[in-house]
Structure 1
Amino acid sequence: MKLTGREKTELFLEGVVTVILLLLLNLSVIILINQSISTNPGLRDGIFIIKRSILIGPDHMHLWSWENIFIVLLLLFDGAVVYWRLIRRYHQIQLRHIISELHYIANGHLNHRIPFKLSGNTQSVVESINALVDSVIKSMDEERAIESSKDELITNVSHDLRTPLTSILGYLGLIRDKQYHSQEDLLKYTEIAYLKAKQMKSLVDNLFEYTKVKQTGTPLSISKIDLNQMMEQLVASFELEADKSGLAIAAKETDKPLYIEADAEKLGRVFNNLISNAIKYGKGGHHIYLSAAVGQPGEVVIHVANDGPEIPQKSLDQIFERFYRVESSRNKDTGGSGLGLAIAQSIIDLHGGYINVSSDEKLTTFAIHLPVQHGDKLSKKPRQKIAE
């Protein structure tokens, strides 16, 4: 920290005034002591006896110059007082600089930090202030991100609800105004309105599920799950649907039973979302693969893979964001609510695990990493390409 000329002058005057006051005090003390000795013969004789009785060194020299020792002690005391006063004044100047920096930050310069490199507790204060400002800025940024996220959520939900609702109102309006030519037209309009209403219900259900799993402290119904058995059930549940899309779904069993502690219902929702996406977006492919294996100690890794079209690399980092869709249009037939993968990631987070995705021209693979025991938490690793 650099001192200004005025502050240097302040320190100099502080030292000068302190020295003058100490000299006056020392002079007063010496005068009082001399007067006391000169007016008190007994004290003078006692001092003389003490001086004769004190011997210094191997030559037994007498201590006669007690005045010199007293003056040396006074000078040491004076030096300590001057140093203490100057250090005290210097710390006051440092504090003024810190307060000035705080006022500068408080006036809106939030990117500014106190640049001083001081010593002792004062440096700890500076570091604590800078850390506090960083924390406040981070909280403000998070608050802005939350507000922006809320606005985006409202915009996306409004868009996705308005589109089917417009169709429903349009076709129901045609029915109300009897603008149909036959019973077949009436049934057609009713069927379209019904399907659009189901689409709206699916979006609302997904939105409700997303908000529920994103809440902190969401309860989990933990039980011991046999992953081999769960994968067999998933294959049986989706076999017909996959077959209609020209896909074969299969699960690779492990050599021995593989158990984890998890919420079976919520974990089933994760696999339902992933397999449904594989069927929906895997057109052109032929297979969906399910497999599970032991990863690091206390970890299992479950793969859901398909050999459909490759996901563009630029989309891999955004694919778990809510309402994000790989397609450019939000109105394509394959376009769902855009919440399925966000829900899946939130459920995996609740279990203390994480999910990664990799995609190339051969396979698109979602790798789910879960702790074996409930309550453990895995550290997320960077996304890696998963070999076929």
Structure 2
Amino acid sequence: MEGIIVLLICIILILLIYIFLFKREILRISKQLSKINNLEKGKKVNVVFINKEVEILGESINDSIDTLNKLREEEKIRNEELKEMIENISHDLRTPLTSILGYVQIIKKNQVMDLEHLNKVEEKAKELKEMLSQFFMLSIINNVNYKIDLKEVYIKEILFNEVISYYDQFKSVGIEPKINLNLKNKTILGDENSLKRVISNLINNSIKHGKKELEINLYEDANYIILNIINDLKEDVEVDKIFDRFYKGKDKSRSGKNTGLGLPIAKGLIKKMNGDITAYKEEKRLKIEIVWTKI
């Protein structure tokens, strides 16, 4: 009988010690979590108590810490990008606004409605309107809830009409584009207005950053319909950044009408239309290529 009592006492003592160590480990983990919650970087829960359930708990907590740290880093990057975007938008909008106010002051000073200055005001106002339109379009297409109503459209007809609309502009800058439309009347799934905007942005990019050589090709292979626009480069570009917002090439000056949003908008619209757009650099030539899967 005494042996049984001693055994029970030993079991109870072991259980009490186990409970004590278990509670101490939970308290230790809680203190570690408190430090981690106070944004101590690189900290994780360290489990020393030999217990499978506590180890599993520690691993789950560490997984949550990894996820939280990743979210914090992503939030930091987003905040930095937002700050940079606001600075860029402010700078780009300030340029035409300053010009408009300057011309208005000249008109007021001379007290004459000078047609030349009024034309300048109108030009800068249109420039400002286009900038606002691009900022608005970029904000829309980056919204996950923004959907494009996809229909069968004739890409060859849309491309031809859009290129023709640039005839005067091509002529003014001395560009004679080589146009190869080796595609029968095939359709793709897309939206006509969105496709016009994409083509317009790509052509404008070629005019602003290219030389006199411009090549536009539309063709098909067994599975895809492919459009590419190739132009010689005035300056070197970082192809991996070409679709980044506000990227303007290696010339970091903020002057001019270029907002650096044309290609990001083109990429966003193409993605919404289930296409793929990529850029390649071949020596001093830039090729931007769009690929659609055949219907």
Question: TM-score, normalising length from structure 1?
Answer: 0.65
Q: 1:94 to 1:361 in 2, by over 3 A?
A: same
Give the superposed CA RMSD: 3.2
* 2:92 alignment counterpart: 160
Give the Cα separation in 2 of the matches to 1:124 and 1:293: 55
* 1:191 alignment counterpart: 119
* 2:204 alignment counterpart: 276
Matches within 5 A, 1:224-235: 224-235=152-163
Give 2:216's aligned amino acid: Y
Give the Cα separation in 2 of the matches to 1:108 and 1:263: 47
After TM superposition, the runs of 4+ consecutive aligned structure 1 residues lying more than 6 A away are: 77-86
Give the Cα separation in 2 of the matches to 1:172 and 1:82: 92
Higher normalized contact order (CA 8 Å, seq sep 6+, divided by chain length): 2
Q: 1:248 to 1:192 in 2, by over 3 A?
A: same
Q: 1:361 to 1:309 in 2, by over 3 A?
A: farther
* 1:207 alignment counterpart: 135
Indicate yes or no: 2:113 matched with 1:113: no
Deviations 1:330-374 (A, max 9, x none): 114xx422211121122123234443212233520112244557x
Q: 1:187 to 1:240 in 2, by over 3 A?
A: closer
Q: 1:87 to 1:219 in 2, by over 3 A?
A: same
Indicate yes or no: 2:31 matched with 1:104: no
Q: 1:234 to 1:168 in 2, by over 3 A?
A: closer
Contact 1:228 1:253 survives alignment (8 Å)? no
Give the Cα separation in 1 of the matches to 2:266 and 2:158: 17
Give 2:290's aligned amino acid: I
Contact 2:147 2:272 survives alignment (8 Å)? no
Q: 1:261 to 1:127 in 2, by over 3 A?
A: farther
Matches within 5 A, 1:26-41: 26-27=4-5
Deviations 1:14-33 (A, max 9, x none): xxxxxxxxx857159xxxxx
* 1:303 alignment counterpart: 228
Give the Cα separation in 2 of the matches to 1:265 and 1:278: 20
Q: If you compute each CA radius of gyration, which structure gives the higher value, 1 or 2? A: 1
**1:201 shift after superposition:** 1.0
Deviations 1:165-201 (A, max 9, x none): 2221122212122267xx8xx2221221111111111
Give the Cα separation in 2 of the matches to 1:169 and 1:310: 33
Matches within 5 A, 1:298-377: 300-309=225-234, 311-312=236-237, 315-326=238-249, 327-332=251-256, 335-372=257-294
Q: 1:233 to 1:189 in 2, by over 3 A?
A: closer
Give 1:311's aligned amino acid: D
- Tell me which protein shows more strand as a share of its residues: 2
Give 2:57's aligned amino acid: V
* Aligned residue pairs, count: 292
Structure 2 unpaired stretches of 5+:
none
Q: 1:342 to 1:27 in 2, by over 3 A?
A: closer
Structure 1 unpaired stretches of 5+:
1-22, 29-74, 374-388
Give 1:189's aligned amino acid: H
Identity of aligned residues (%): 26
